[in-house]
Amino acid sequence: MNNANNEYIIVYNIGELITSSDPWIINNAAIVIEKGNGIIKDIDKNITIKDKYDLSKHETIDVKGDPVLPGFIDSHTHFVFGGYRADEYLWRLDGQSYSEIMKKGGGIVNTVDATRKTSFKDLIDTGKNRLDNYLQQGVTTIEGKSGYGLNIETEIKQLDVMRSLNNQHPIDVVQTFMGAHSVSREFKDDKDGFVNYVIEEMLPVIAERDDVSFCDVFCDEGVFTIEQTKNILTKAKSLGLKPKLHVDEIAYVGGAELAAEIGAVSAEHLLKVSDEGISRMAKNNVTPVILPITAFSLQEKYAPARKMLENGLDVAVSTDFNPGSSHSYSIPLLLSLSAIKLKMNLKEIVKAVTINAAKALDRDEFIGSLEPGKFADLIILDAPSYEHLIYNIGGNIVDTVIKKGSIVHKKDKLQYEKNNIMKGDK
C-alpha cells in the first residue's frame, strides 16, 4: 500500500531545463514540487525521476519536450501610477526638449498630479491589468516603486495598491518606497526642505509597514545630490529599509560609488557610470540593474553592460515600466535590446532576468533559479529551444506560467476556430 499519494506535482518531459544555476542546462529533465508549499524537492533526468517516483500516483504536467526556465523577474518598475503622458512622448519624438515639455506642464509632476487624483480602485484596476500583461510574458516576481505621490498620503496609497495587488495576483510584488523621486510642488524652491520632509516625516511612517523592503532615491544631476541621497538612505537603513539607487543616468555624479559606500543592494540606470564606480560595485557586491528600453525610448547611449560583466558584476536588466521614459512592459523587447544594444549573450541575458534580478531584490535565496529548496516559479516556452528567446525578435514565446507549482497562465486560444468568420463583400 502506498499512502504517500498525490504528495507532489511532477513536471516532466522537459526538453531543455535551464536552471540559471549549476549545471546551466539539463536535457530531458523533470522537476518534483512539494504540493503544500510549492517548493522544488528534486530535479533530475526524466528517466531518473520516473524511477524514483511513481508518476501515476502524483499530479503531473507533461511539457512534451519544450524548454523550461525560471520565471522572469522584473526588478525595476514604476507600474502603479495615474494618467498617461502619451502627448509628451510625441512632443519628444518631435524634437522638443525636456525643459520645453516641463514648461507645458509635463514631466514627473504631471504624473504626480494624476496619481494624487486617481482613486485606489482605479489604481488597482490599471495595476492589475499591467500585472496580467507581465504574467503572460512569464514574469512571476516584480518590483514596484512608489514616488508618484511625493506626499505621505499618496505614497501610502501607491504602496497600499501594491500590497493589495500582491495579495490578489499570482505575481509577487516587491515594494520599494521612492518618496525622493522628484521634489514635490509644495517644496518647489526648497529641495533641502523636501529632503527633510522625506527623512523626518515620510520614512518613519513607511518603515512601520512590514510590506516595504527597499528605499530608493533618484540621485542625479538636477534631482537629488550625493549628500541629500546619503542622508535619506542612511536614515532609511537605520529604520530597516534596504537602499537602492537611481544613479548616473542623466550625468555622472559618482552614484555607483555612493551605492558601494552605503551598501546598496542595487544601483540602477548607470548610463554614465565611471570605471571606478564599476569596480567599487564589484567589490561591494552591488547588483547593477540596466534599463535598455529607457535608453531606447529616450534615444540615449546604452549603459556599459559588457564592462560591468567583464568586471564580474551580476548584471540584471529590467523594463523600468513608467509613464514617462519607458512606457513598456515588453519582456521580448527587453531581451532583444539586451542582445543587440547591450551586447549580452543568451546566458547572460537569461541570468539578467532570473537569478541576477533576484539578487537585485535580495531574494536569490528563494527565487531566480531552479534548484531544490527554491520556489517552483517556472515558465514553459512554445519553441524548440530557449535560443528562440533572442532569435524570435519582439515576440512572446511563453506558453505556460507556473507559480509555486500551480499553473497560473496558459497561452490563450484563438477564437476563430469556434466563431463564424465573415468574408467577402456581402
Q: How far is the CB of 293 from Zn ion (least distance, A)?
A: 11
Task: Give the DSSP letter of residue 375.
Answer: B
CB 188 to Zn ion: min, Å: 22
Which of 44/143 has CB closer to Zn ion? 143
CB of 249 to Zn ion, least distance (A): 9
Least Cβ distance, residue 158 to Zn ion (angstroms):
14
For Zn ion, the closer CB: 172 or 320: 320
**Is the CB of 138 or the CB of 147 nearer to Zn ion?**
147
Residues contacting residue 420 through CB under 8 Å, at least 6 positions apart: none
For residue 95, report the phi and psi dihedrals to the nearest 5 degrees.
100, 5
At its nearest, how many Å lie between Zn ion and the CB of residue 325? 8
Q: Which is nearer to Zn ion, 135 or 270 (CB)?
A: 270
CB 302, min distance to Zn ion, A: 16
- Provide, rounded to whole angstroms, the least separation between the CB of residue 298 and Zn ion: 12
* Set of cell numbers at residue 405: 507549482
Which is nearer to Zn ion, 44 or 320 (by Cβ)? 320
**Grid coordinates given for 366:** 528563494
Angle between helices 152-168 and 120-136 (to 10 degrees): 50
E strands of 202-317, at which residues? 212-219, 242-247, 266-269, 287-290, 316-317
Give residue 220's identity as a one-letter amino acid code: D
Residues 310-349 that bind Zn ion (CB under 5 A): 320
Alpha helix segments (H runs only) across 55-151: 86-93, 98-103, 108-117, 120-136
Binding mask 91-130 for Zn ion (x = CB under 5 A): ----------------------------------------
Q: Which is nearer to Zn ion, 257 or 320 (CB)?
A: 320
Q: Name 44's bridge partners.
A: 30
Rg of the chain over Cα atoms, rounded to whole angstroms, equals 22
Q: Which residue has the cell 535619506?
A: 232
User: Quick one: 40 or 290, whose CB is closer to Zn ion?
Assistant: 290
Which position's Cβ is nearest Zn ion? Answer: 320
Site string for Zn ion, 143-182 (x = CB under 5 A): ----------------------------------------
Q: Which residues contact 85 (CB under 8 A, 6 or more apart)?
A: 106, 110, 111, 323, 324, 327
Give me the residues that bind Zn ion (CB under 5 A), please.
320
